[in-house]
Structure 1
Amino acid sequence: MTSAITETDLALNSRALPADRTTGPAAAVRVEQVTRIYAAGGQPVAALDGVDATFTRGTFTAVMGPSGSGKSTLLQTAAGLDRPTSGRVWVGDKELSRLSEAKLTRLRRSEIGFVFQNFNLVGALTVEENVTLPLRLSGVPVDRRWLKEVVERVGVGERLRHRPAELSGGQQQRVAIARALAMRPTVVFADEPTGALDSHTAAEVLALLRSIVDDQGQTIIMVTHDQLAASYADRVLVLADGRIISDSGVRA
């Protein structure tokens, strides 16, 4: 994902649906008949083609598929980083198409956590400052008890005064995960979170994500190309040509 995507402001053409259709209490995220069409070489290309999916609270979903399958586009539209061409998206009980850009930005800051492959930490800030950055941007006071719990759970409690350059890749990703949890989000979206890590460190980070789901009831939706990473999830969605071709659970 790039900053260009977050700044995209495209027209939304939602199809008519009954007004009483909601996510219900068990759904953290729902996408309904979502399409996303881009122009490529002057021709329309459907990155998503009528996708329906519900992501239950307290579950860990891996989204897989070959390059160009639509998996990253699904993450971007479900997270409110990009507008679908048609269809509707809910995060909790909020339908994203009804929100202005300002309200959508506020929702992303308060309801959605992000973990990226390249960490996206601010080099000039300490670990503590990076973790609390979403709170400060939203004008929310820092809950010191929650901060302590989060940084200790992800294993960076002893590194709060360090800067990213002083940390290993695995430690930086742990800081990014703590930052994603700082606002107590409805859902955490992870885009190839272990792609920049060695296999041992990747396994540690994936086990951490798994424990956050199991112990805290967090909802995680992770895009990955790695079958081993997907094995940590409760459910695997496989996309091809903008459609879900497989939806299966992988854990007992």
Structure 2
Amino acid sequence: MIRTETTVDTAVELRDVVREYGGKHARVRALDGVRVGFARGTWTAVMGPSGSGKSTLLHCAAGLERPTSGQVMLGERELSAASESALTALRRKEIGFVFQSFNLVSSLSAEQNVALPLRLAGSKVSMKDVRAILTEIGLGERLRHRPRELSGGQQQRVAIARAMITRPSVLFADEPTGALDSRSARTVLGLLRALVDDSKQTIVMVTHDPAAAAAADSVLFLSDGRIVGHLTRPSTAQVADRLAELEA
């Protein structure tokens, strides 16, 4: 198990986190005493067999779910003890989330989708900044296009721009390339890599794809709700072999 202590360089940390579901006589433990920290400015992929706890870890770390016990720290703030209103405010300003299904608002244009988090947070909206970030990711000519007028890869880039417009402390990504063809997936992974290398963005990404995981700085492996392995700068083959061992 990877064990970390809180430091100023830790963006988010789970301390002995347990997450259980179900009633008294049918409890399922999705996370079983997970203790791990994610350093600022790094990209970590989270992998494991189906039912290993990957998405639960991501949701607890992002404040979307509360742990049954243990602590989740976003910097020096404890998410697991925050009120619902405080959590909502943190998610709007400090946490970015990218989903496999994009989750764009179909009636809004690309620039309106990107500006939406700022409007929901009651922050001043600079359309200049919105257009700049879309131009930076190669969609400067698609500002007024609605999701149905964009390819899957373009929609995911809009979703990433939307998540980044508030300059979050951590960007969480749940299977961000899962619905994309290989070419679009490479483009999205290249964008995530640039966010880490150029902007020192912290990214925690759940994926089932060894090639996507190999694009990250490190890969964390889960099985039965526990951390069972860790690879640093692995090849796609190394990730695939380790995952195959766990699934066997």
User: What TM-score results when the alignment is normalised by the length of structure 2?
Assistant: 0.89
Asked if 2 retains the 8 angstrom alpha-carbon contact of 1:24 and 1:93, the reply is: no
Distance 1:40 1:239, change over 3 A: farther
Matched letter for residue 205 of structure 1: V
Asked if 1 retains the 8 angstrom alpha-carbon contact of 2:131 and 2:143, the reply is: no
Matched letter for residue 57 of structure 1: R
Question: What percentage of aligned pairs have identical amino acids?
Answer: 61
RMSD, aligned CA: 1.6
1:147 maps to which residue?
130
Asked if 1 retains the 8 angstrom alpha-carbon contact of 2:153 and 2:180, the reply is: yes
Asked if 1 retains the 8 angstrom alpha-carbon contact of 2:115 and 2:127, the reply is: no
Per-residue deviation, residues 132-154 of structure 1 (Å, max 9, x unmatched): 10000001012345323321222
2:157 maps to which residue?
174
Unpaired segments of 5 or more residues in structure 1?
A: 1-21
Secondary structure of 2:28 counterpart: strand
Out of 107, 122, 141, the residue aligned to residue 90 of structure 2 is 107
Secondary structure of 1:89 counterpart: strand
Secondary structure of 2:27 counterpart: strand
**Is residue 87 from structure 1 mapped to residue 59 from structure 2 by the alignment?**
no
Matched letter for residue 247 of structure 1: H
Decide which moves more: 100-109 or 149-158: 149-158
- 1:9-20 matches, within 5 Å, as none
1:69 maps to which residue?
52
Per-residue deviation, residues 121-176 of structure 1 (Å, max 9, x unmatched): 00000111100100000010123453233212222121111110100000000000
Looking at structure 1, the residues matched to 24 and 187 of structure 2 have their Cα atoms a distance apart, in angstroms, of 42
Task: Tell me how many residue pairs correspond in the alignment.
Answer: 231
Superposition deviation, residue 42 in structure 1: 4.1
Looking at structure 1, the residues matched to 104 and 19 of structure 2 have their Cα atoms a distance apart, in angstroms, of 29
Looking at structure 1, the residues matched to 26 and 100 of structure 2 have their Cα atoms a distance apart, in angstroms, of 31
Looking at structure 2, the residues matched to 93 and 148 of structure 1 have their Cα atoms a distance apart, in angstroms, of 33
**Is residue 39 from structure 1 mapped to residue 39 from structure 2 by the alignment?**
no
Out of 96, 103, 106, the residue aligned to residue 123 of structure 1 is 106
Superposition deviation, residue 94 in structure 1: 1.1
**Is residue 50 from structure 1 mapped to residue 67 from structure 2 by the alignment?**
no
Structure 1 stretches (4+) deviating beyond 4 angstroms? none
2:243 maps to which residue?
none
Looking at structure 2, the residues matched to 207 and 139 of structure 1 have their Cα atoms a distance apart, in angstroms, of 31
Superposition deviation, residue 39 in structure 1: 1.6
Looking at structure 2, the residues matched to 144 and 85 of structure 1 have their Cα atoms a distance apart, in angstroms, of 41
- 1:141-220 matches, within 5 Å, as 141-220=124-203
Secondary structure of 2:171 counterpart: strand
Secondary structure of 1:43 counterpart: coil
Per-residue deviation, residues 11-68 of structure 1 (Å, max 9, x unmatched): xxxxxxxxxxx84321110000000011279411110000011101100000000100
**Is residue 247 from structure 1 mapped to residue 230 from structure 2 by the alignment?**
yes
Decide which moves more: 115-124 or 134-143: 134-143
Looking at structure 2, the residues matched to 155 and 137 of structure 1 have their Cα atoms a distance apart, in angstroms, of 25
2:240 maps to which residue?
none
